[in-house]
Structure 1
């Protein structure tokens, strides 16, 4: 297991590990085969429910005055007798979610840039852009958008629920939330450090967090780890991380992950945070299927769930659907998700392709608008982002995917900010 360190010792421990950051998995939290949201009352206790159901309490409501639910892990499906005791829908727990995307290039740590000028090292994480991304940022109008929103996302915390990040990467210096808010739900500790080695999901979360910061450089990243080195994650970890992020003050949650099946437990977690006014952006998946992954597929639901949840797919630099991107009439927006450069573990830069890379662009867009001040109702913000997009169906383009690449298509940050923020 990774050591669970007091916050005061965390920086020292990370610096001491700088020369040999974790490269192999060091631990894992208990992973029950099944998980259920169990109804509990104010008279119940974690111990009594655990004994009654023969399960492990994964989360417990902090303020339960009447009837609410606890998350319980079970090693086998409950009997009919137990089901009558308040056990809700029982779901498969292990490896239901996966992070999408494929790494396309890795460059050495001496490649770092500040506003187009080569620097060594990353100058405390204050970089604005990586030149290799210039065509992508020009496509979505990032430079002008940042001029329109000079706060650059300041005061906004974006929770990146992913494979962890490289906590030692210079790009994140001064850009992370307080260490007391970090959590690793996969390993069961408070150090959400990327683990593994080249391949799999190694570097995925680091890339995603770096994309958020390129769009909204003054936002804070809250790193929460739910995916293992192979990119898979459990229902319980994803649901807990979503609720935890909102409890810790995140205004935006990025989910560059998904599942082919809907989890009612994760759906309920997204609904709960949405009803609290927290935005959730989820990637559509990379199987080139005419259906998008969950929870992204829920983004056009009625009520707060649909209003505060946004689904994101991928196009290329010609605004044509990426060969890998899922598509559907429920997809709300797309963006340039191919060969997107961002930080990579060990102080390096790497490019990835996937709908996972588009989701943090949208999270960054929301951070820009929130940091600038809204002129629209909060519940209308994701709708405005989708409706202000560039029309990717013009002149017969993407005809085979008409109305399945978003409400209109590819994100246009300038149009979005002009319609939603104080100028």
Structure 2
């Protein structure tokens, strides 16, 4: 891993949470989690000794150390509780890499790359989470500021346009300001460096080695011109800026991934007007009439874009779910949770695919409202530190 540029450690300005002063763990929250572990995994044993140990550790240190069994269980349940995820049927198969001893940004960067390698497996994507050092009173854990381990830069041009991913333009400006050398010439698929904040509040940049980023060149099963567009997409969607909370302990760096849904890439990342906005180009190549939305040119172009993405991932042997099959599997997950006597909150706007929604079974029903207090859980993302904290 290669570091870049400057780092910073000034206190945050008023109104910005001080990430360097984590609160002590509430013993009641820890106990509730331990009782859940016990009830779901080992109900035939006594919990008294473990509860006593944890209470004593919290009294002494303000936090507690989970066993590997407790950590893995908590990570999997956080996925099971994720109201915005349609792929929760596989929650029990999550592979957890326990790296809680690592807190230095260089180590976190190196093992974030290790996460990509472990999850990719030549295209047979494995659901994986890597858990780094937790927050503790007087000692915060590390934080990964990228929203995913792999993102493409958005380079602002003088005319106001963006080369690459407009959704990453602000982040790109930020890391360039920290010393990241913008690629020359600027490309549409330049992988951004990792921006990691250590326990001392200082942030550093680290390149992601090209051989750790598995990508799929996009082509269409029927249109040879599609391949000449030079489009591609990375294979592993590893979310990296959402803290994980288990039993009151917060792990601010816990990157995790499943695998892509076809519409996630084709109907959102590549099609949204504030992202790659490719539908006008695809429609032009298809010879569609774009003079009026009533010709449904956007719909027709989106279908062909999603077809190209799905075809390309399948042709390269890279795991990708399709929105029809995954919708059926989500209802299977829902039935299993209901049979187990558990509530299954779901955010309808995230569960229903962004294309052909009414043709999938998840469209035609209501769900329990998301519960912000449900734990274990992934918490709201932490973003960039304000500029004053990076000077």
TM-score normalised to structure 1 length: 0.27
Higher RCO (C-alpha 8 Å, min separation 6)? 2
TM-score by length of 2: 0.29
The structure with the larger Rg is 2
More helix by share: 2
